[in-house]
Amino acid sequence: MKSPWDTLKILADPTRLRLLALLLREELSVAEIQEILDMAQSRISSQLSLLRQAGFVVDRRDGKRAYYSLRPGIDPRQYTLLRTACDTIADQPECADDRANLDRILTRRRRQSEEYFNLVAGRLGKNYCPGRTWEAIGHLALRLVPSIVIADLGAGEGMVSQLLARRAAQVWCVDNSPRMVEVGTELARKNGLENLRYLLGDIETVPLGDASVDLAILSQALHHAEHPQRAVEEAFRILRPGGQLIVLDLRAHDFEKAHELYADRWLGFKESALHGFMKKAGFVQVDVATVARETEAPHFETLLAAGLKPKP
């Protein structure tokens, strides 16, 4: 950690402090920060570099995009200084504008994802979708235990759940697209699946009670989450002790067009990242493996991760 004097010098700059106030709320790309602050990219990049050297922020690459966030495990004294400084300037007009611009960008993120899934509702299973292969789904189905309560998080139309509901005691499908929920509900009705219910909600704030399901599934949903760690922690919360989480998702890739074509928030995940999400949430016996690779470019690969919620 830098000395308190160095920390105070870092926080004394208005631009750096505005940047930190934003990153206290949300991980942001350089382009998003540039839009919020209405500043040149070179100026923002130089200030972010100083903040990274000072140990306040970390960056990550997602294809060609660079994202910045507050450094995990920041020294408590350093964090207290940071929080105090940000609270002190919170009432300044430029900070109020920053918050309004940030809210606008976050709303736009959610709207882009919702618009994409509303558009493809009713034909998602008929169109190409990265990682949605029968080979991968077959691996998931092998983990099925009959007569249990299942939560399919980020279910879309619930293609997987339509199969699982034929054997499970109860299946809850959660999706944040109203149109997906409508289409899925109608499919369940047509197929006579009374134990299959659709709920409008976000996978980061699941509308199910604590310890209420035996199996939670995140099938090609985690790369659409704003905060994947929160989604995994929500799965942990709703699982009963001894319950299992299964994640099917894309392995980290460089196909930038996925952001626009499929409303992907993340360009997949490394095995170590999925393993880390689950261990941090509290899961044990975590296992992550590559289970499928598509033959056509860009050769998406699918990871399967599984973990158990420990019993008391």
pLDDT in tens, 30-77: 999 999 999 998 999 999 999 999 889 999 988 888 899 999 988 888
Beta bridge partners of 287: 306
Q: Is pLDDT above 70 for 297?
A: yes
Whether 166 has a pLDDT exceeding 90, the answer reads no
Rounded to two decimals, the pTM is 0.69
> Taking the domain 134-308, which CATH number applies?
3.40.50.150
Burial of residue 222 (CB within 10 Å: 0-12, 13-18, 19+) is buried
Q: How far apart, in whole angstroms, are the C-alpha atoms of residue 158 and residue 181? A: 9
Provide the sign of the torsion angle of the four alpha carbons 197, 291, 227, 103, taken in this order. negative
Beta strands per DSSP E along the chain:
28-29, 57-62, 65-70, 149-153, 170-175, 196-200, 213-219, 239-250, 284-293, 301-308
Position 265, amino acid:
R
**For the chain, domain boundaries:** 4-111, 134-308
Domain 4-111: which CATH class?
A: mainly alpha
Decide if pLDDT at 142 tops 50: no
What end-to-end distance do the CA atoms of the chain give, in Å? 38
Nearest to 57 by CA among 41, 42, 44: 44
- Which pLDDT score is estimated for 5? 84
